[in-house]
Structure 1
Amino acid sequence: MKVFLGGTCNGSKWRDELIEMLEIDYFNPVVDDWTPDCQAEEEKQRKQCDFCLYVLTPKMKGVYSIAEVVDDSNKRPEKTILCVLEEDEKSKFDEHQIKSMDQVIKMVKENGGKAVKSLKSIATYVNTKEKIK
């Protein structure tokens, strides 16, 4: 079993925190120098991994991860997981951003994907395939 760790970069430490809880293999797409080869490997891993996880936090600068999670929830709903963390260190989503994130969560769920609000829930699910609460 393997999980793709997509989502917020920009100095967010969520990957480090989650990796400590994982009992399965993972693909971390974060690299120091993003190249076309890195992009190709990321796309390959999204297709091959058993789970496509996207963790969105207030540290996100771009919105491409939102497009990716919606795309995967359409193409690979059975393995797509979205986690929205409303706080990331001192950063917090404002009320308008939370409303937008709630709509993204709704869209992913309606497409058949899973959505949670904690890294622990993700780890439990991917490690044991327990139903996400």
Structure 2
Amino acid sequence: MTARILIVDDQPDIRKLIRLTLQHLDDVEIQEADNGGDGWRMAQDFKPDLMLLDVMMPGELDGYQVCAKVKSDPLLKGQTKVILLTARAQKEDEEQGRKAGADAYLTKAFSPLKLLDLMDNMLGRTA
């Protein structure tokens, strides 16, 4: 079964790092957005199994807002897991992520191996 993954981050280097981390997997379909508004619209169309979502992004929606929208959408909330990716490592930031409905909170700079393990766990795959 192909896993649909949506990467939403305004930093091209982070999107590239994630893509490179996932490139060896042959059963994933990856799409990308560089801001929260586009990420939200893409999520509605793409219906990802997993979103890797930056918290701080320019534009109309930040990562917390996108996460809350995904988790309240009837078509996405039961299907889409959300991992928030952020440089913000304060307890209050993680709490805000939990309130938005995030399934996990990963602080940048994260280990690609840790990201893969977390994704495999969320998608029910064996590592």
Q: Specify if TM > 0.5.
A: yes
Q: Give the gaps of 5 or more residues in structure 2.
A: 107-113
Question: After superposition, what is the alpha-carbon deviation per residue over 1:71-107, rounded to whole angstroms, capped at 9, x for unaligned?
Answer: 1011122223232345xxxxx43x5xx3343123312
Report the structure number with the largest CA radius of gyration.
1
Measured after TM superposition, the shift of residue 45 of structure 1 is 4.9
Is structure 2 residue 115 aligned with structure 1 residue 123?
no
So what's the TM-score if we normalise by structure 2?
0.57
The alignment's C-alpha RMSD in Å is: 3.6
Q: 1:65, 1:119 → 2: CA distance?
A: 18
Gaps of 5+ in 1: 87-91
Give the number of equivalent residue pairs. Answer: 110
- Distance 1:83-1:54 versus aligned 2 partners, 3 A rule: same
Distance in 1 (alpha carbons) for counterparts of 2:24 and 2:100? 24
State the TM-score, normalizing by the size of structure 1. 0.55
Q: Which gives a bigger RCO, structure 1 or 2 (Cα 8 Å, sep 6+)?
A: 1
Aligned runs of 1:1-133 on 2, under 5 Å? 1-11=2-12, 12=14, 13-20=16-23, 22-30=25-33, 39=38, 43=41, 45-56=43-54, 60-62=56-58, 63-75=61-73, 76-86=76-86, 92-93=87-88, 98-109=90-101, 114-117=103-106, 118-125=114-121, 129-130=124-125
Structure number with higher helix proportion: 1
Partner of 1:89: none
